[in-house]
Amino acid sequence: MKKVLLEMPIPEEGVRLLQQEVEVIGPITDHARVIEIMRDGVHGLIVSSSLPVTEALMRSAPTLEAVGRPGVGVDNIDLAGATAQGVIAVYTPDAPTESTAEHAVALIMALAKDVRSGDAAIRRAGWAGRRGLVGVELMGKTLGIVGLGRIGGRVAEICGRGLHMKVIAYDPYILPERAAALDVTLRPTLESVLREADVVTLHTPLNDETRGMIGAAQLAMMRPSAFLINTSRGPVVDEEALLAALRARRIRGAGIDVYAQEPIPFPHPLLELDNVVVTPHIASGTADGLLKMGVTVAEEMLAALRGDKPRFMANPEVWERPRRVARR
């Protein structure tokens, strides 16, 4: 019987699905122990974002056939290295869509309605704390989406059709037909979105093109009254530049769920600012989202280990190359 090692817990429904066909080991969160076990007969590995799955690691695991990532981000997996080693990388791009999109909208609403300041004020001073708290009405305001994929598209639907915001987007890989179906106006450049939007929300993968794409120059393009939302990946934003912009009130505020370093060091300068709403990388972490991710990654892992073609491969080119397991 083949073996699948869990580096992270997944919902029991996903575990039971795996156990129908493979032996499940873990969850084991000690990375040194994970690497040690992988050298000895592990065929599948399901990982969180915290374990770097390098080509060297995969090479050290001679029986490894597939790596699974519950979620849409696979930046911690060396995809070129996986393909070179004949290892299939599966993920769950559809599963976290709703939860992450709703979380992004929750951050937008929390900032616009001054929820953090209002909560702190009433706890500190009672009803008198409401003086000076003035929120923003979102109807008619412009939402700028960077990355109009599954999550960005769902945010567009909620904010455009639900809150009646004007929605614009920058995404050089999206067809105009998709944008039109979402009632979104595409802009030709990132700069045009940053300059026009009252709220900018980031929904891009982390890669060489997007790493640091929001830096000091880009933040300077934003309106002083604008909010920045990041539920994508921390390194998409230059955190030091964001801190400087928030401290100087060059933008009104930010809603942040992801960070340059995770777990975020504590204490951290971002946590000291009153114009930031922060959450600990939990955008996709609803009961519903976790269940979808756990079941989907189990299904995709089992397909790969059977020799069937998975629906969601992060490195689809591996299917046309020699792999560590032959097709059935």
Q: SS3 of 25, please?
A: strand
**Cβ pair 145, 138 in contact under 8 A:** no
**Cβ pair 71, 94 in contact under 8 A:** no
Q: From the candidates 36, 262, 272, 317, give the one annotated as an active-site residue.
A: 262
What is the pairing mode between strands 23-25 and 44-46?
Answer: unpaired
**Cβ pair 274, 246 in contact under 8 A:** no
Q: Is 233 tagged catalytic?
A: yes
Q: Is 131 tagged catalytic?
A: no
Q: From the candidates 178, 211, 268, 281, give the one annotated as an active-site residue.
A: 281
In 218-283, which ranges are E strands?
227-230, 253-256, 276-278
CA 306, 310, 315, 320 dihedral sign is: positive
Residue among 249, 258, 192 nearest 229 (CA)? 258
DSSP state of 141: P
Q: SS3 of 150, please?
A: helix
Q: From the candidates 43, 69, 233, 323, give the one annotated as an active-site residue.
A: 233
Q: What are phi and psi of 230, to 5 degrees?
A: -135, 110
Angle at the Cα of 273 from the Cα atoms of 272 and 276, rounded to 5 degrees? 125
Chain centroid, CA 160 distance in Å: 21
**Cβ pair 31, 51 in contact under 8 A:** yes
Active site residues: 233, 262, 281
